[in-house]
Amino acid sequence: METKNIMIVGVGGQGSLLASKLLGHLFLENGYDVKVSEVHGMSQRGGSVVTYVRYGDRVYSPVIDRGEADFIVSFELLEAARWLPYLKKDGIVVTNTQQIDPMPVITGAMKYPAEIADKLR
């Protein structure tokens, strides 16, 4: 089986890490080689969280490059848009439409982009 690439993205506290671990265990229990990786720098402060889940007959690296994700599962709308360059041309995005304002929006330094949902269509 060709390696499949799933990115799970969101902000700290939404369960992105738990979701990636659950998916990783699911694929492992079904006999696939699985690699899971995570980046969650300031996630405890509501920052961006991205996890990579790769599964197939043989997976050599846990990281997904731009244009290689078969699926992006996003728990927050702006995070879906942020990671869109990683999606394959025929890839699928599944996103929650919940808006969680990042700190620059909360402080009034920026506005939440109103056209984000249109970019994802």
Average pLDDT of 37-42?
Answer: 75
Residue 33 main-chain phi, psi, to 5 deg: -80, 135
Q: So what's the pLDDT on residue 117?
A: 67
Number of domains forming the structure of the chain: 1
**What is the tens place of the pLDDT at every residue in 40-78?**
665 556 678 899 999 999 999 999 999 999 999 999 888
More confident: 117 or 101: 101
Q: Give dist(CA 116, CA 121) in Å, integer.
A: 9
Q: For residue 79, give Cα distances in angstroms to 30, 56, 65, 69.
A: 30, 26, 17, 15
At residue 60, the pLDDT reads 93
As to burial, measured by CB atoms within 10 angstroms (0-12 exposed, 13-18 middle, 19+ buried), residue 65 is exposed
Only one residue has tokens 């690296």, namely: 61
Q: What is the mean pLDDT of residues 84-104?
A: 88
Domain with residue 15: its CATH number is: 3.40.920.10
Residue ranges making up the domain that contains 112: 4-119
- Percentage above 70 pLDDT, the chain: 90
Name the pTM for this structure: 0.85
SS3 76: coil
